[in-house]
Structure 1
Amino acid sequence: MAINTSKKRRIVLSALGALTAAGMLAGCGSSTPGQSADDGKQNADGVTTIEFWHRTFTPVENEWYADVVKKFNEAQDKIKVVDTEIPADAWDQKMKAAQAAGKAPDIYTFSASINDAVNAGQLHALNDIVPQDKLDEIIEQAQPISQIDGTYYAYPLLLEPQTVLFWNKEMLDNAGVDSANGPETWDDLMAACAKIQPTLDKGQYCISPASDAPTFAWSTVGQQWNFAGHTALSDDWTKPNINDDGYKNLMDRYKQLWDEGYMPKQALAAYVEGKDFGEQKVAFKVSGSWMMSEIGSDYPDMLTNTGVGAFVNSEDADGRGATTLGNFRWVIDAKTQNAQAAADFMTWVLAGDPEVLVPFFVETQFTKVPVRTAVQDAVADDEAAADAPWSDIVVNEIIPTSIPEPTYPWDVSLAVGTAMESVMKGATSPDAAIATAEKAIQTVIDRENLPDKAPKN
């Protein structure tokens, strides 16, 4: 497992200074850009032009994308990359329209299931156009979202835990709850909330977790694994696999948070944002690792008052973690006439000199995890890393026990999320909710012919 050795179990943020950016270096990987780019159309000067689309992200991420394109274009004279930034809310519409018209970009960012895209014939295999030794550098935790049965269709930029526990040190201290370590199990969390609740002012709550069906669907896959030891389908994808005590107990835990008033009945902020935590309306916040970027930029006074740790475990977890690994990858369009040129660009940025990637992880405040050990080491060596101690928890404590996002269709996850919300709010019993979800999942299995698409490994 290509993850650095852990230094400690939990950490509380303290004495955090301002983060500084590392300089962008235009290093080259072992694949020389442009030398193999003879499969597409070239202009009179022998330059192959490729289109690269990426979503609009945070300002520092957008600047990094623009910068690496500029530096790649300056580093060689055989390939010209044209960079297009697409607003996130327009991405799906523009991409579907481009694909339908046969005008998809040569290379683009990607966050959905590669299985669905491969089955739809949308992604170009990478094994023959990206050096195998560069594919081999992708760490174990990122393999499932990069390849299918040994054939690579994506090169990851990052991994990102989707379920991290943040806590307000002062609020825990005021209630006599250990603020140095945070709770480790659901029983610990419930005991902490019982102490915290009487100390809260009106409008404050013990915890802000996921609370709606779509968010449950993607954010609790790791928790499903944590409680049940499996996810929503049988290994061969022939039937639902959610009718057991693990799934029922998970649903009951959220119902307990709801019934005891430990969580708000109406979300104070989206799961993906930290506004409710930054404004000190909740003692605990459940979100992805990315939330630390928001705290650092929008609520800097909270940095020294924030504890970070892995999300709480089922008492029966037996070492299984409770988070799902989000990710972002680059892929090459299956119909491109410039596959090798696109692969040379991909290799130069994602699989080449680690210093090309270091600024991305520094500027996003060490909240995302590189997928190559060499890049992890380079990021850890950056002088700003000392001011981001939460990085050690993310990389060394949360990632190793996390599971990749599921490769089965979204509708399967949504059926589970719908069941969890209905049980939490008392609309139905776990047994009835699971029965309804099983029917919905079976419909997806039959409609999508999932047994024929199940991963062989």
Structure 2
Amino acid sequence: MPGVNRRQIIKTVGTASIAGLAGCSSNGSSGNNEGGGKQTITYRDREDPFTSMAKAYNSSQSKVHVNPSIKPEKSKYRSLIAQITAGNAPQVIGLDVVYLPRFVQLGALADLTSYYNKKSYTDEIFQPLTRDFIRWNDKVYAMPYWIDCSLYLYNKQHYKKAGLDPEKPPETWDEFLNACKKLKAAGYTPLSNTLGMLGLEIFFFMPFVWAGGGKLFNDEMSKSLIDQQPAVDALKFFKKLQDKGYTTDQTQNEHFTYPPFESGKASMAFSGAGVGEIKDQSPDVYKNMGTAMFPKPEGGQHSSFLGGDCVVITKQTTQNQGAFDASEKFVDWIHSEDGMNTMASSTGYLPSLKSGFDGEYITQHKSLYEPYKKALENGHAPPMHPKLIQMQQPLNDALVRALQGKQSPEKALSQAADSITKVLQSSQ
């Protein structure tokens, strides 16, 4: 089960390092053919639990051997760039979806449009994933793989003691604030949350902006819209949580949101898909835990951030038909019933296909996973842009300034919008 490190969403390697891809060699290693006709390919991902995917696939058939290569978040992309530049790229990569536009732009990935069009299971992909999660400039370069989406956890025992219905968690901002008031009166810290970690401004804040109809930037990718009313309203909601003492310090960046929730001090926690983290660290809390989509403003729509990995095949692999065919077979298995059930049970993340929620593991934990399914139906993939990483810091800084009372939400977001617009216009 993934730990807290993954929850430090989107730690970056910097665009300067990625830029080295522009000069990558096109003569790459494309997989080996072992004795007996078995094709060997390398699969790269960023967390140890995903070794289980390669092991399970290898056990399921005898034609292909997948060699797992796991690199930590900080070194994964640097080493990958070096391999591609040297013409020795892994064949299959679990790629953090926010990097997809940049790797496509630099010519590192195979065009999978024809592959996508001939597969029947692509009709089952959750709709919010079918555009930004796998496409760039109207071509398909990836398949959705494992999904990490944002919502909140709550302690049902705390709810009962505070006079709240544990089977009806708050759905609107006003209901959420009222629940926080009752939980605080009952002696609890109502919410554990942080926006201080770089990346959580997208993971936790943007769903509240999307819920009100807002966006990070316009469709033309020429101007930031983060200073418009939906974002201002969302930041005022977070500021109210802070000012009323309903939440842990949202400007801190020492840990993710789980520890106060796991200890029983906090009644709710903004979270990703890793509910297994709670099970491992605090079984008693896990037994009395519920999940729910983020609350929405009056007249708005529930939303969630849909992050995680897409799965890609490197362009160098197309030079070896045997390796490319083997890579396709592995990608097919990832989206099979066995593959999705293995992924959910061994890694804790979510399937990208609707049928994946009918698998054995998720069915056994249906009450916890139903809100995640709703999140996948109603959430948003990251606002995709090759320089999205450069837009995160201005927004993150703005949220912290406003929460600390150094600037009004309006002024802080206006400053962030100016900085993000400059990044957008520098790309044109």
Query: Aligning the two structures, in what range does the TM-score lie when normalised by the shorter sequence?
Result: 0.7 to 0.9
What is residue 85 of structure 1 aligned with on the other side?
70
- Distance in 2, matches of 1:189 and 1:388, equals 24
Cα offset, 1:47, TM superposition? 5.8
**What secondary structure does 1:217 align onto?**
helix
Cα offset, 1:373, TM superposition? 3.7
What is residue 277 of structure 2 aligned with on the other side?
294
Cα offset, 1:390, TM superposition? 1.1
What is residue 281 of structure 1 aligned with on the other side?
265
- Distance in 2, matches of 1:209 and 1:85, equals 30
Matching of residue 190 in structure 1 with residue 177 in structure 2: yes
Higher relative contact order (CA 8 A, sep 6+): 1
Identity %: 19
Deviation string, structure 1 residues 181-209 (Cα, Å, up to 9, x no partner):
11111111111222221322xxx521012
TM-score (norm 1): 0.77
Greater helix proportion? 2
TM-score (norm 2): 0.82
Q: Is the 8 A contact 2:273 2:349 kept in 1?
A: yes
Matching of residue 146 in structure 1 with residue 131 in structure 2: no
The one-letter amino acid of 1:286's match is F
RMSD, matched Cα: 2.7
Q: Is the 8 A contact 2:104 2:136 kept in 1?
A: no
Which runs of 5 or more residues in structure 1 are unaligned?
A: 1-38, 450-457
Deviation string, structure 1 residues 93-114 (Cα, Å, up to 9, x no partner):
3223223333221221101332
Cα offset, 1:313, TM superposition? 0.8
Q: Is the 8 A contact 1:105 1:333 kept in 2?
A: yes
Match 2:404 to one of 425, 435, 449:
425
**What secondary structure does 2:171 align onto?**
coil
Matching of residue 66 in structure 1 with residue 52 in structure 2: no
- Distance in 2, matches of 1:445 and 1:386, equals 45
What is residue 118 of structure 1 aligned with on the other side?
104
Q: Is the 8 A contact 1:416 1:437 kept in 2?
A: yes
* Number of residue equivalences: 390
Deviation string, structure 1 residues 108-153 (Cα, Å, up to 9, x no partner):
1101332222112121111345662257345123212112354211
Cα offset, 1:267, TM superposition? 4.8
The one-letter amino acid of 2:91's match is D
Q: Is the 8 A contact 1:349 1:356 kept in 2?
A: no
Range moving further from structure 2, 216-225 or 114-123? 216-225
- Distance in 2, matches of 1:65 and 1:46, equals 19
- Distance in 2, matches of 1:138 and 1:148, equals 20
What is residue 228 of structure 2 aligned with on the other side?
244
Q: Is the 8 A contact 2:146 2:351 kept in 1?
A: yes
Which runs of 5 or more residues in structure 2 are unaligned?
A: 1-29
- Distance in 2, matches of 1:310 and 1:124, equals 35
Matching of residue 157 in structure 1 with residue 134 in structure 2: no
Q: Is the 8 A contact 1:226 1:313 kept in 2?
A: yes
- Distance in 2, matches of 1:138 and 1:178, equals 34
Which structure has the greater CA radius of gyration?
A: 1
Q: How does 1:14-53 map to 2 (within 5 A)?
A: 48-53=39-44
For residues 99 and 404 of structure 1, do their structure 2 counterparts lie closer, same or farther at Cα, with a shift above 3 Å needed? same
For residues 179 and 136 of structure 1, do their structure 2 counterparts lie closer, same or farther at Cα, with a shift above 3 Å needed? closer
The one-letter amino acid of 1:65's match is A
Q: Is the 8 A contact 1:40 1:337 kept in 2?
A: no
The one-letter amino acid of 2:109's match is L
Q: Is the 8 A contact 2:214 2:230 kept in 1?
A: no
- Distance in 2, matches of 1:376 and 1:174, equals 32
**What secondary structure does 1:308 align onto?**
strand
Deviation string, structure 1 residues 223-269 (Cα, Å, up to 9, x no partner):
21112x13111111111112322111111111111111111227597
Cα offset, 1:178, TM superposition? 2.5
- Distance in 1, matches of 2:421 and 2:296, equals 29
Q: Is the 8 A contact 2:148 2:350 kept in 1?
A: yes
Q: Is the 8 A contact 2:44 2:92 kept in 1?
A: yes
